[in-house]
Amino acid sequence: MSYDRAITVFSPDGHLFQVEYALEAVRRGSTAIGVRGADCVVLAVERRALAKLQDSRTIRKIVSVDERSVLAFAGLTADARVLINKTRVEAQSYRLSCEDAPSVEYLARYIARTQQKYTQRGGVRPFGIATLLAGFSEPENGEEKGKPVLYQTDPAGTHSSWKAQVIGGRNAKSLREFLEKNYQDDMSEELAIKLSIQALLEVVDSGAKNMEICVVREGGVKSIMAEEEVDTIVKEIESEIEEGKKSTTTEGDDEE
Nearer to another protein, 85 or 239 (CB): 85
- At 71, is the secondary structure helix, strand, or coil? strand
Which part of the chain contacts another protein (CB under 8 A), choosing from 64-72, 126-134, 199-207, 237-245? Answer: 64-72
Residue 164, C-beta contacts closer than 8 angstroms, at least 6 positions apart: 33, 34, 35, 36, 150, 179, 183, 195
Q: Hey, which residues does 202 pair with through a beta bridge?
A: none
Q: Does residue 79 bind another protein (CB under 8 A)?
A: no
Q: Does residue 103 bind another protein (CB under 8 A)?
A: no
Contact 174, 202 (CB under 8 A): yes
Per-residue HEC secondary structure of 8-68 comes to CCCCCCCCCHHHHHHHHHHHHCCCEEEEECCCEEEEEEECCCCCCCCCHHHCCCEEEEECC
| Closest distance to another protein from the beta carbon of 90 (Å) | 10
Compute the distance between CA of residue 66 and CA of residue 88 in angstroms, rounded to an integer: 6
| Closest distance to another protein from the beta carbon of 58 (Å) | 9
Which of residues 64, 119, 198, 210 is near another protein by CB under 8 A?
64
| Closest distance to another protein from the beta carbon of 84 (Å) | 8
Q: Hey, which residues does 118 pair with through a beta bridge?
A: none
Q: Does residue 60 bind another protein (CB under 8 A)?
A: yes
Q: Does residue 158 bind another protein (CB under 8 A)?
A: no
The pairing of beta strand 221-224 with beta strand 69-75: unpaired
Q: Hey, which residues does 133 pair with through a beta bridge?
A: 71, 151
Nearer to another protein, 36 or 222 (CB): 222
Which of residues 27, 47, 88, 109 is near another protein by CB under 8 A?
88
Nearer to another protein, 188 or 223 (CB): 223
Q: Does residue 66 bind another protein (CB under 8 A)?
A: yes
Q: Does residue 47 bind another protein (CB under 8 A)?
A: no
Residues between 137 and 156 that touch another protein (CB under 8 A)? none
Where do contacts with another protein occur on this chain (CB under 8 A)? 60, 63-67, 85, 88-89, 91-93, 95-96
